[in-house]
Structure 1
Amino acid sequence: MKDWPLVIEATQLADSLHEPNLLILDTSSADNYAKHHVPGAVHIAPAELQCGIKPAVGKLPSVEQLQALFSRVGLTPDKHVIAYDDEGGGWAGRLIWTLDVIGHRNYSYLNGGLQAWLNGGHPSEEVANLPPPSEVEIILDSAPIAEIEDFISLLDNGQLAIWDARSPEEYRGEKVLAQRGGHIPGAINLDWLELIDRDNHMRLKDLKAVQAKLDILGLSADKTIITHCQTHHRSGLSYLVMKILGYPHIKGYHGSWGEWGNRDDTPIEIGDRPQTSAQQP
């Protein structure tokens, strides 16, 4: 079996499209998948990765739904998944987090996704790929999952950091997408868009520069990091970036602000979080 890196470029994938153990999963919009996708790619609608139940629509689907999904796309333990999307990594990261949750850790992220593939002049196809269903048994691993009950009493713990990947306006409580606006006390805001190089076909920004910014903000690899957004979609990318950077203790809060901001028993801060002198750039 080929030894795939966690992040691959379009040229690397183009040279290996016919590897027998590859399972290319496209989490782009249905329109983009129908128009053009990587040859052999199987489509997963982004909504299939979330439960869709209000108010916390971003929570995991049921085990039965996950079993049906990954059976439909033909996942087996020997398959190496290539994950990509059409937006810079949010949905692909959510897929990779979901694969971690079901214990499948053979995967790579296509850097830049569909945009990098097309801008590289690589071939695409329009016909949907429908592989034979597989018999996959889903057993959830709780390690990558953060629940309110796990960390609400640990907000003052210096070894825990919360990465809020929403926009600054949402973080400060100026843009409200739940009953209450604001952020989890102590959470550190770094918009997921700050991780994407939109001038380079939606590839990830220079990872050394990203790591330096995370260290300045207090989101360093020696801590347990919980990341979230509104529905754990945008924070799929922050989770993925931490995986790429080798962070050993990371979790995705799948309830995200859709849950936290719609409960009346969760503490909330409004406005910018004051930085200590050690956190100043």
Structure 2
Amino acid sequence: SALKSTFAERFGAIGLSGTETAVFYEDALNSGYGQSCRGYYLLTWLGYPKIKVLNGGFSAWKAAGMTVSTDKPTPVAKAFPADLMGADVMLTKDDVSVALHTDVKLLDVRDIDEWTGESSSPYGKDFAPRKGRLPGAKWIEWYRFMKPSAQGPVFKSPLEVQAECATAGIGTDDTVYLYCFKGARASNTFLALKQAGFSDVRMYFGSWNEWSRDDALPIETSLPIIKAKAPVLAMAA
């Protein structure tokens, strides 16, 4: 596809040929809405064999006393491998439409004001034309897959990630479709779930930025309130 060709060209321009290990990082895991993890996701989609994300980001690297440089790198362009078997992890809006009201676990990881419909995006309340969420989606805010450390936020352990997902009724054997606004925060969650042993995790890359602009696609707009069941009283013998 054109999208794959575009990213393959960009990654080749910075020197990735299939033999190098690509290490993505940002200042901190929560500072750029998961941008480093989006790089990880894209290379996973392209089938690149050697990918890492610096847990904790550049801030954690510096806090650990590791060497830093101010030299400007000059990458040598290489031919990105064209024969890679890409991973089936990128979803279209048609894929998501078909999955609505099925056993697929649709997981919204946006910030709470987007989930409740108060805001349409992280770029402003009215940036996108509609507010709300995809029908039937579960919600776990992306921050919940990280925890504080002395060096800054780091990913939770596999068991902790599994426990977070269990609160939304999602298990490691479920098919999980992630979305956020345009793929950064969901990429952070994608990596967290993959590291925690979730076997089938995919992401709707266009996310709310695309879905909200198509009036033919259904959304939920009412407050996501779960009605409490009436208590059952035990009668004394």
Q: TM-score, normalization: structure 2?
A: 0.84
Q: What is aligned with 2:163? A: 212
Aligned equivalents of 2:149 and 2:225: distance in 1?
30
CA contact (8 A) 2:158 2:197 kept: no
Distance change in 2, residues 1:276/1:247 (3 Å): farther
Gaps of 5+ in 2: 122-127, 230-237
Give a deviation string over 1:190-211, Cα, whole Å, max 9, x none: 1111222244412113432221
CA contact (8 A) 1:214 1:220 kept: yes
CA contact (8 A) 1:186 1:273 kept: no
Q: What is aligned with 1:113? A: 57
User: Could you tell me how far 1:276 is from its partner in structure 2?
Assistant: 8.7
Whether 2:180 is the aligned partner of 1:180: answer no
Give a deviation string over 1:205-237, Cα, whole Å, max 9, x none: 343222112112122211111111111011110
Deviates more, 1:97-106 or 1:203-212: 203-212
Give a deviation string over 1:158-193, Cα, whole Å, max 9, x none: 2x0111110111011011231110100111111111
Aligned match for 1:272, one of 224, 227, 231: 224
- The within-5 A match list for 1:128-147 is 128-138=72-82, 141=86, 143-147=88-92
- Match of 2:65, as an amino acid? G
Aligned residue pairs, count: 217
Q: TM-score, normalization: structure 1?
A: 0.71
Aligned equivalents of 2:227 and 2:190: distance in 1?
23
Gaps of 5+ in 1: 1-59
- Match of 2:93, as an amino acid? I
Aligned equivalents of 1:164 and 1:180: distance in 2?
16
Secondary structure of 1:225's counterpart equals strand
- The two structures, once aligned, show a CA RMSD in angstroms of 2.2
User: Could you tell me how far 1:273 is from its partner in structure 2?
Assistant: 5.3
Distance change in 2, residues 1:261/1:88 (3 Å): same
Secondary structure of 2:186's counterpart equals helix
Q: What is aligned with 2:20? A: 79
Give a deviation string over 1:48-71, Cα, whole Å, max 9, x none: xxxxxxxxxxxx973342132111
Structure having the higher Rg:
2
Q: What is aligned with 2:69? A: 125
- Match of 1:123, as an amino acid? T
- Match of 1:82, as an amino acid? V
Aligned match for 1:195, one of 142, 145, 159: 145
